[in-house]
Amino acid sequence: MSVPDKIAQLKKEAAIKAVEYIQSGMIVGLGTGSTVQFALEEIARKLNTGELEHITGIPTSIRTRNESTRLGIPLTTLDEHPEIDLTIDGADEVDANLNLIKGGGGAHLHEKIIAQASKTFIVIVDEGKISYKLGEKFYVPLEVIPAALKTERLYIERLGAKVTQRMNKNGKPFRSDENNYIIDGHFGPIDNPAELAIKLNSRAGIVEHGLFIDMANRVVVAGKEGVYFKVKSKK
């Protein structure tokens, strides 16, 4: 088995482990990304076999909504169910305190809304996304309204980051599901992600950023030696 195939297999195993936390009758937040795809397929399988019943999902993106519909997973909305039992999602980076960077797919606004509405937030990652500090391996995605693009870019640069605007394959600006722009702040290792999050929260033109501070309850990791868990320590 090639290395990419091995990683994909481990991601699938991690996703299956995460889905084990879902119980019949739950409202489930459905994340976005390649790793979560395995979870969607496992949820659909369990619904088809009857291992799970009366599961209703709330997707975090148009992509996830379309894929869930294709797989036959019943869907609802936050308007109908403003409290979610459990959400399963991926992450682009996880630090030693289970803080996250998300938004590599540009869906972090809806992903954060869903995570904040959830009683339990479970994250699936491969081992390569584990860092001691956020920013060691990934940039901070920021969704900004088009009218504020230049001023928010200047602000992020003044915080010490190199900023790039995310583009599509056709060379045009990437647009979020809310039709906003995405800029990526390359900060390097972040000593105090909670402090940075506060600064980003203060900017009206930044709709949402990809720092998920103190939100994950459990991280399921696909490692070279198999699947293991990282759990939020009690303070």
Q: Identify the active-site residue in 42, 67, 111, 208.
A: 111
CA angle 16, 21, 24 (to 5 degrees): 105
Q: Which two tokens stand for residue 34?
A: 């390649």
Is 111 labeled as catalytic in the residue annotation? yes
Instruction: Give CA–CA dist 180/25, Å, rounded.
Output: 35
Tally of CB atoms within 10 A around 92: 21
The distance of Cα 44 from the centroid of its chain, to the nearest Å, equals 20
Q: Which two tokens stand for residue 146?
A: 């088009």
Largest CA distance in the chain: 54
Tally of CB atoms within 10 A around 71: 16
- 3-class SS at 171? coil
Instruction: Give CA–CA dist 173/74, Å, rounded.
Output: 33
* Positions marked active-site: 111
